[in-house]
């Protein structure tokens, strides 16, 4: 739409007036300098100029996002942070740096492009003496100067960010429904797939939607202090949450009580709702709260009357008194059918079972009864034959449910208690009888399912035998070897070929000694990464089956998740979860990408890898030595969380076993410990050494390879050790980290790294001690001794070849 007051004429006259307007704007800026925090009809803001709030916290101006060349007008934190919190023209970007923001005399704030078209406006009019001001809260307000009457404010038009003082509102009387919407990507702020809205049920809850029909998360219910479904949203001495409500309206907001911190909520492009805090002047944003935290936070993931628990793996179970509606689907991991009652209710004889520390069910089918005690709430539910459960929801009151109980999860800390209505026979069973009955049912179901799986397995093998070529194949090897240990879903080759577009070169993510890795997408939309073992791979059948059987038994947030495998003919394929940010080496060794890794993110990655190794060494049901821990084997998810991958060379230890000797050394030079590379001796301390090298690489942004040919210590370890001995170890820090970082924490990380790479394995800490030293500043650290491999290349080559019986396989993956 063209602004008629500016452009009544068409063609050349309109273009001439545009240049005159632009010239007037430039002249105004030259006369008045930077516009400060206010704007009147006599001022304009062109690209390169800004409004700055009085305290300097926020700026309004033009900017580009990520790799995009489009220009946007919006609000961001002041220099040097520049985190964007609001975008005016998120749907209509400018194609060049020629946009101008004007305030008309009658009070309409308009953004014009190079041809004079309005691409965004406030749509206000009929105002006297209008004034635009950027407040230090981040709110852009348009007031009528004479009466200070608020005409428009940016807080009423949110994007993906919620600031202190902003509101998430639902008003059934006025039909006001404020919605937060995610960006499409970090370089495209247009509305993405996810939105966040408040719902007024029995008690207020916040739902995250994908599109307009799919609920993907429920932050709630509100219990008077915070959201019971997100225990870490409880009040803090630096900020507080508010959600006043009644049956017609509810408004969520939060306030900052400590001026030394900044706080914002963010709905990410992947549908996560994060509470981010930053302590001034530290530039690192830290996640104070996050939803979803794990798979159990996915809406109704266990179906109706199911309850979800999450430790290292997700587990669905039925509420007491309920059984799976489709037992076969549950055994296959599909819990969406939920659970149904085993015994019908009898209103006159029913009782209640207490389920503790849970996220209360969706309150869409619930009713709030204020000012009721626990006993009164129980009596109220008992007298209503349609009432299936009740709870006291914090300071809100008594809540009763009818119908199915949906979206329940267990917490290890926090949560509320739910009282579930059951038939007297369910409550009257002794614990022993209940367990016996459950055991009998489990045996029957397991036997039937086992028989069906056996029949399916025989049929599957028969089909495969018809296709199998002569010669040794992986399937033959696996059946004769460790086939009984296989606990993975099997994908057929047709599914994998379809997902990867027949292993198209366009889908190839990379290639190493084992063969190529392809990106794919299954029919249900899930993205996968397919590792295809090539015929000439240095990773043979043994390593492939080793990786398949090992990782199938391992589940941890910092280990890559193996979804299944494909064994058909000579095809050997592993199907992993797809991680869009590929591997750590693509970030820390790349000048542009390393800018995404501030100090806090690097520390988070270090801690994540440390916890993953601790799980492998001690907390899993197997004791695993990875043997090839390096930057390229650390994959990063969409939020740059680390996941250890590639278990082809890993080995299982007995729990009481300390070390093992091998004459087939496999790994990557630079990460191998001295005793492993020289003598084939490996243990948990071999992984600890590799971890120490990785920490130094993450901090420095440099590979553990040659630094200076003229020096005796030519690798990163030798270089860093020299700086440590000279008291200059902070000089190894990657310049992209910036200058705002806690020196004491970085020095602690460097010292821990040196403790890990000490030449003697007996001197190195365990991963338990490493995690403690990294996460607890009060833990005392010993002084490290000289690291291994601070030697010159000729001596190194001579040592590696001195043992004629030792085979060293260095895999450049």
Determine if residue 582 is left, alpha or beta; phi over 0 gives left, psi from -120 to 50 gives alpha, anything else beta.
left
Give CA–CA dist 163/140, Å, rounded: 12
Options 160, 362, 628, 734, the catalytic residue: 628
Residue owning tokens 């060794």 = 589
Cis peptide before 348 (omega within 30 of 0): no
Q: What's the rounded Cα separation, in Å, for the pair 120 and 71? A: 13
For strand 339-341 and strand 351-359, is the pairing parallel, antiparallel, or unpaired?
unpaired
Instruction: Specify whether 628 is catalytic.
Output: yes
CA angle 551–553–554, rounded 5-degree value: 65
CA 60 to chain centre: 29
Contacts of 31 (CB under 8 A, 6+ apart): none
Q: Is the CB of residue 406 less than 8 Å from the CB of residue 362?
A: yes
Assign residue 219 a region: left if phi > 0, alpha if psi is -120 to 50, beta otherwise? beta
Which of 221, 589, 238 minimizes the C-alpha distance to 406? 221
d(CA 503, CA 692): 37
- Residue 383 CB neighbour total at 10 angstroms: 9
Report d(CA 702, CA 108) in Å as an integer: 53
Question: Distance of CA 801 to CAs 238, 716, 732, 787, Å?
Answer: 61, 23, 32, 21
Backbone φ and ψ for 469, nearest 5 degrees, come out as -85, 165
Q: How far is CA 631 from the centre of its chain?
A: 20
Helices and strands per DSSP (H, E), number in the chain: 16, 47
Question: Nearest CA to 514 among 809, 179, 746?
Answer: 809
Within 13 A of 172's CA, how many CA atoms are on the CB side? 11
H-helix segments, 500-590: 541-551, 585-588
**Distance from chain centroid for Cα 269:** 11
**CA separation for the pair 745, 747 (Å, rounded):** 5
**Over the Cα atoms of the chain, what is R_g?**
31
| Total Cβ atoms within 10 A of residue 331 | 16
Handedness of CA 315, 319, 320, 323 (dihedral sign): negative
Q: Which residues pair with 209 in a beta bridge?
A: 195, 215
Residue 411: both structure tokens together: 């917490």
Half-sphere exposure of 133 (CA within 13 A, CB side): 14
**Separation between Cα atoms, residue 506 and residue 514, nearest integer Å:** 19
- The dihedral sign for the CA sequence 482, 484, 487, 490: positive
Q: How far apart (Å, rounded) are the C-alpha atoms in residues 779 and 595?
A: 31
CA–CA–CA angle 730, 735, 741 (5° rounding): 60
**Dist CA 703 CA 709 (whole Å):** 15
Which of 560, 605, 607 is CA-nearest to residue 587? 605
Residue 444 is classified by DSSP as: H
Residue labelled with tokens 């093992």 = 660
The answer to whether residues 416 and 228 touch, using CB atoms and an 8 Å cutoff, is: yes
Q: Which residues are catalytic?
A: 628
């Amino acid at each position: 739409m063209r602004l008629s007051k500016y452009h009544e004429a068409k063609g050349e006259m309109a273009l001439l007036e545009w240049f005159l307007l632009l010239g007037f704007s430039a002249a105004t800026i030259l006369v008045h300098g930077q516009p400060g925090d206010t704007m009147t009809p006599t001022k304009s803001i062109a690209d390169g100029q800004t409004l700055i709030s009085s305290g300097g916290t926020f700026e309004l101006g033009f900017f580009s996002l990520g790799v995009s060349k489009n220009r946007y007008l919006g609000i961001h934190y002041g220099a040097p942070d520049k985190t964007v919190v609001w975008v005016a023209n998120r749907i209509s970007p400018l194609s060049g740096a020629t946009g101008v923001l004007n305030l008309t005399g009658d009070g309409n704030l308009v953004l014009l492009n190079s041809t004079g078209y309005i691409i965004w406006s406030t749509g206000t009019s009929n105002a006297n003496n209008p004034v635009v001001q950027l407040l230090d809260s981040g709110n852009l307000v348009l007031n009528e100067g004479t009466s200070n009457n608020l005409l428009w404010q940016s807080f009423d038009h949110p994007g993906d960010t919620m600031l202190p003082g902003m509101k998430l509102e639902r008003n059934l009387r006025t039909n006001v429904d404020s919605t937060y919407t995610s960006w499409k990507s970090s370089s495209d702020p247009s509305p993405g797939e996810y939105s966040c809205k408040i719902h007024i049920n029995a008690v207020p809850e916040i739902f995250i939607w994908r599109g307009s029909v799919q609920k993907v998360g429920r932050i709630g219910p509100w219990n008077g202090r915070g959201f019971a479904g997100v225990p870490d949203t409880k009040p803090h001495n630096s900020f507080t949450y508010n959600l006043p409500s009644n049956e017609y309206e509810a408004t969520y907001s939060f306030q900052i009580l400590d001026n030394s911190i900044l706080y914002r909520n963010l709905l990410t492009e992947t549908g996560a709702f994060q509470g981010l805090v930053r302590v001034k002047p530290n530039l690192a944003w830290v996640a104070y709260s996050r939803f979803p935290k794990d798979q159990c936070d996915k809406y109704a993931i266990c179906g109706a009357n199911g309850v979800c628990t999450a430790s290292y793996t997700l587990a669905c179970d039925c509420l007491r008194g309920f059984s799976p509606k489709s037992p076969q689907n549950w055994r296959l991991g599909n819990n969406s059918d939920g659970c149904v009652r085993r015994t019908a209710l009898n209103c006159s004889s029913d009782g209640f079972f207490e389920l503790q520390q849970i996220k209360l069910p969706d309150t869409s089918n619930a009713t709030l009864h204020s000012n009721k005690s626990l006993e009164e709430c129980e009596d109220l539910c008992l007298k209503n034959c349609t009432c299936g459960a009740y709870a006291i929801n914090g300071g809100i009151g008594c809540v009763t449910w009818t119908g199915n109980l949906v979206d329940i999860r267990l917490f290890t800390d926090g949560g509320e208690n739910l009282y579930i209505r059951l038939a007297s026979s369910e409550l009257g069973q002794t614990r022993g009888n209940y367990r016996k009955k459950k055991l009998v049912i489990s045996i029957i179901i397991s036997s039937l399912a086992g028989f069906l799986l056996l029949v399916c397995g025989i049929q599957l093998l028969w089909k495969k035998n018809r296709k199998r070529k002569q010669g040794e194949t992986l399937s033959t090897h696996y059946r004769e070897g460790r086939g009984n240990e296989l606990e993975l879903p099997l994908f057929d080759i047709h599914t994998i070929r379809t997902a990867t577009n027949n292993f198209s070169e366009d889908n190839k993510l990379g290639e190493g000694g084992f063969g190529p890795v392809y990106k794919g997408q299954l029919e249900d939309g899930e993205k996968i990464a397919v590792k295809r073992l090539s015929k000439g791979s240095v990773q043979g059948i043994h390593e492939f089956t080793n990786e398949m059987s090992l990782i199938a038994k391992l589940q941890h947030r910092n280990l890559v998740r193996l979804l299944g495998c494909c064994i058909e003919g000579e095809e050997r394929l592993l199907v992993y979860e797809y991680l869009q940010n590929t591997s750590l080496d693509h970030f820390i060794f790349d000048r542009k990408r390393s800018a995404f890794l501030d100090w806090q993110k690097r520390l988070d990655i270090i801690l994540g890898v440390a916890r993953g190794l601790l799980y492998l060494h001690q907390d899993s049901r197997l004791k695993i030595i990875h043997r090839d821990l390096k930057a390229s084997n650390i994959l990063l998810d969409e939020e740059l969380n680390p996941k250890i991958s590639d278990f082809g060379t890993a080995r299982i230890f007995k729990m009481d076993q300390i070390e093992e000797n091998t004459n087939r050394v496999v790994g990557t030079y630079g990460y191998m410990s001295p005793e492993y590379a020289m003598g084939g001796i490996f243990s948990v301390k071999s992984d600890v050494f590799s971890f120490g090298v990785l920490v130094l690489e993450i901090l420095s942004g440099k590979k553990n390879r040659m630094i200076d040919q003229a020096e005796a210590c030519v690798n990163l370890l030798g270089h860093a050790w020299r700086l440590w001995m000279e008291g200059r170890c902070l000089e190894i820090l990657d310049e992209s980290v910036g200058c705002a970082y806690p020196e004491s924490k970085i020095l602690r990380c460097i010292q821990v790294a040196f403790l890990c790479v000490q030449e003697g394995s007996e001197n190195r800490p365990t991963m338990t001690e490493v995690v403690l030293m990294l996460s607890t500043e009060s833990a005392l650290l010993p002084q490290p001794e000289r690291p291994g491999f601070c030697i010159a290349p000729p001596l190194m080559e001579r040592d590696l070849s001195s043992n004629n019986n030792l085979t060293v396989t260095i895999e450049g993956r």
